[in-house]
Amino acid sequence: MRHCSRVSGLLALGLASSCAALDAFPGAEGFGAQAVGGRGGSVYVVTNLNDTGDGSFRDAVSESNRIVVFAVGGVIEIDDRIVVSSDITIAGQTAPGDGITVYGNGLSYSNADNTITRYIRYRMGRGGDSGKDGITIADGANMIFDHVSVSWGRDETFSINGDVSNVTIQDSIIAQGLQTHSCGGLMQTTGGLSILRTLYADNKTRNPKVKGVNDFTNNVVYNWGGGGAYIEGDSSEVSEVNIVGNAFISGPSTTVSPFTRGNQNFNAYVADNYYDPDQDGTLNGWVLSVDTDSYTDIVFKDAAFDYPAVTTLMNSTDALAYVMANAGASLVRDSVDTNLVAEVASYGTLGALISDEDEVGGPGTLAGGEAPTDTDGDGMPDEYETANGLDPEVDDAMVIASNGYGYIENYINSLV
Ligand SMILES: *[C@@H]1O[C@H](CO)[C@@H](O)[C@H](O)[C@H]1NC(C)=O
Ligand SMILES: *[C@@H]1O[C@H](CO)[C@@H](O)[C@H](O)[C@H]1NC(C)=O
Ligand SMILES: *[C@@H]1O[C@H](CO)[C@@H](O)[C@H](O)[C@H]1NC(C)=O
Ligand SMILES: CC(=O)N[C@H]1CO[C@H](CO)[C@@H](O)[C@@H]1O
């Protein structure tokens, strides 16, 4: 798989065929941009909000090579953790009404190679397994999370560890890790991880804690607690990271500066990071100077590491506004994300670290909506098929269109 943007100079020389990899979807960026998901497999339509059984989300992701779409919207309450298989596309944006929240326990994406997850909320909660994360990845490659809202992890909220490579988390929200651990998450991998335009909020610590190969660009970290915001993994392994165009805004729980720890194995290119520490309700911070003389905990690099670049690099304050408007499962923001973004918009006066999701009203309610008619059951509504010259009475979801995506992918990509 290649990062085509990096060989654009060669394209002009007629080497286009060397750049065959297709992005997971238009707008996919970073190390995980070329995840294939369930392309070429079959469509699974989630038809109920049940924890288990035919038509459930758990059943949908239990086998590989599927593109998962939703004919229902609402809260899916789960008891046991859900294990996501490899080669899966989860298209939360297809759900009618207010979309989908999976609530009650967390999900494992360990070895869920080649997965695409979009526009869905994973809210673990006090009832989830003790010592487990909202989302865990231990080993695996080629995954992209886009507009995903994750909260209420009992251990970490979103944690990556082990032999993991080529992962992107973009336009997402990682928030409210439950006390007493109250963690955003470890992001520890040597194989490449991009965290882009994502909001970390209301975690005491590890927002995130980073080790290895990491690109941290255009994110917002709000109301971290006494453990710190961006923590430089203090390990014996070499870390090489870019930290560019992020905004760090203190909230009521914040007592320490945004960057902590590190050692001489931690190599960072650091530029344009905004910091507003005074919790006074107005955005009146400044761009941190890169003070290589007084901050000697890490090794500052003069140039960015050559990682897959974002299409549009924003400056830190533009990134703040963008993340507030777009991050998370934002087709419809639920009460949780709405409150989180309102906290950020308070610029320091609202926000808390929580021990139980009941303190913030739980997952709330979601309108179920009504799925459009899909006569052939191929995941594409009749109306869409007719409007796009497809046959609403033939299952043609996985036929590959001239742009390289399956018909069903062109449908799900058209929704956002
Ligand atoms: C990760 O992506 C790079 C660049 O596209 C590729 O060379 C490498 O094989 C990928 N790693 C895995 C484990 O898929
Ligand atoms: C979903 O759960 C409901 C209520 O428990 C049950 O009546 C229904 O049979 C379940 N559906 C399937 C497909 O198992
Ligand atoms: C970012 O750019 C905007 C204009 O697009 C400007 O108003 C703002 O001051 C810039 N912020 C920083 C931190 O440079
Ligand atoms: C372990 C720890 O430091 N927890 C603290 C996190 O912050 C909240 C207040 O926001 C404290 O109550 C916890 O003691």
Q: Same structural domain for residues 277 and 170?
A: yes
Let me know whether 85 and 171 are in one domain.
yes
Give the nearest ligand 1 atom to 142 CA: 14
Catalytic residues, which ones?
Answer: 206
Residues 147 and 212 in one domain: yes
How many CB atoms within 10 Å of residue 295?
A: 15
| Mean pLDDT calculated for residue range 142-151 | 96
Q: Are 127 and 65 found together in one domain?
A: yes
Write the CATH number for 185.
2.160.20.10
CA of 353 to the centre of ligand 4 (A): 7
Ligand 2 centre from 58 Cα, in Å?
Answer: 13
Instruction: Residue count of the chain, please give it.
Output: 416
User: pLDDT band for position 153 (50/70/90)?
Assistant: confident
The CA-atom distances, in angstroms, between 130 and each of 80, 160, 235, 335 are: 12, 18, 26, 25
**Is 4 within the bounds of a domain?**
no
Query: Could you tell me if 153 and 201 lie in one domain?
Result: yes
Would you say the CB of residue 159 lies under 6 angstroms from ligand 1? no
Quick one: pLDDT at residue 2?
Answer: 38
- Establish if 13 belongs to a structural domain: yes
Half-sphere exposure of 249 (CA within 13 A, CB side): 31
Whether 373 maps to a domain, the answer reads no
- What residue numbers bound the domain in which 14 lies? 9-360
What's the rounded Cα separation, in Å, for the pair 155 and 178?
8
For residue 108, tell me if it sits in a domain. yes
Domains held by the chain: number: 2
Q: Tell me, yes or no, whether 236 lies in a domain.
A: yes
- Is the shortest distance between the CB of 50 and ligand 2 below 6 Å? yes
- Between 230 and 347, the more confident residue is 347
Q: What is the DSSP letter of 363?
A: T
Side-chain half-sphere exposure of 81, counting CA atoms within 13 A: 19
- Chain mean pLDDT for the chain: 89
The answer as to whether 365 is a domain residue is no
Burial 259-270 (b: 16+ CB within 10 A, else e): bbbbeebbbbbb
Q: Tell how far the Cα of 165 is from the centroid of ligand 1, in angstroms.
A: 7
344 and 392, same domain (yes or no): no
Same domain assignment for residues 151 and 85: yes
303 and 386 in a single domain? The answer is no
| 367 assigned to some structural domain | no
Q: Which residue type is seen at 51?
A: D
Q: Are residues 275 and 390 in the same domain?
A: no
Of 127, 123, 68, the C-alpha closest to 101 is 123
Tell me, yes or no, whether 389 and 248 share the same domain. Answer: no
- Asked whether residue 18 carries a pLDDT value surpassing 70, the answer given is no
Q: How far is CA 335 from the centre of its chain?
A: 19
Q: With respect to residue 1, please indicate whether it lies within any of the assigned structural domains.
A: no
pLDDT at residue 380 tops 90: yes
Q: Note whether 341 and 390 are same-domain residues.
A: no
pLDDT at residue number 374: 97
Average pLDDT over residues 289-300: 79
User: Are residues 292 and 396 both part of a single domain?
Assistant: no
**Residue 162: band (very low, low, confident or very high) from pLDDT cuts 50, 70, 90:** confident
Determine the average pLDDT of the residues in 365-386.
97
Check whether 321 has a pLDDT greater than 50. yes
179 band by pLDDT with thresholds 50, 70 and 90: low
Instruction: Please name which ligand lies nearest the alpha carbon of 6.
Output: 1
142, HSE (Cβ side, Cα atoms, 13 Å)? 20
* Half-sphere exposure (Cβ direction) of 404: Cα atoms closer than 13 Å: 10
Ligand showing the shortest atom-to-Cα distance for residue 180: 4
**How far apart, in Å, are the Cα atoms of 396 and each of 22, 41, 332?**
20, 12, 29
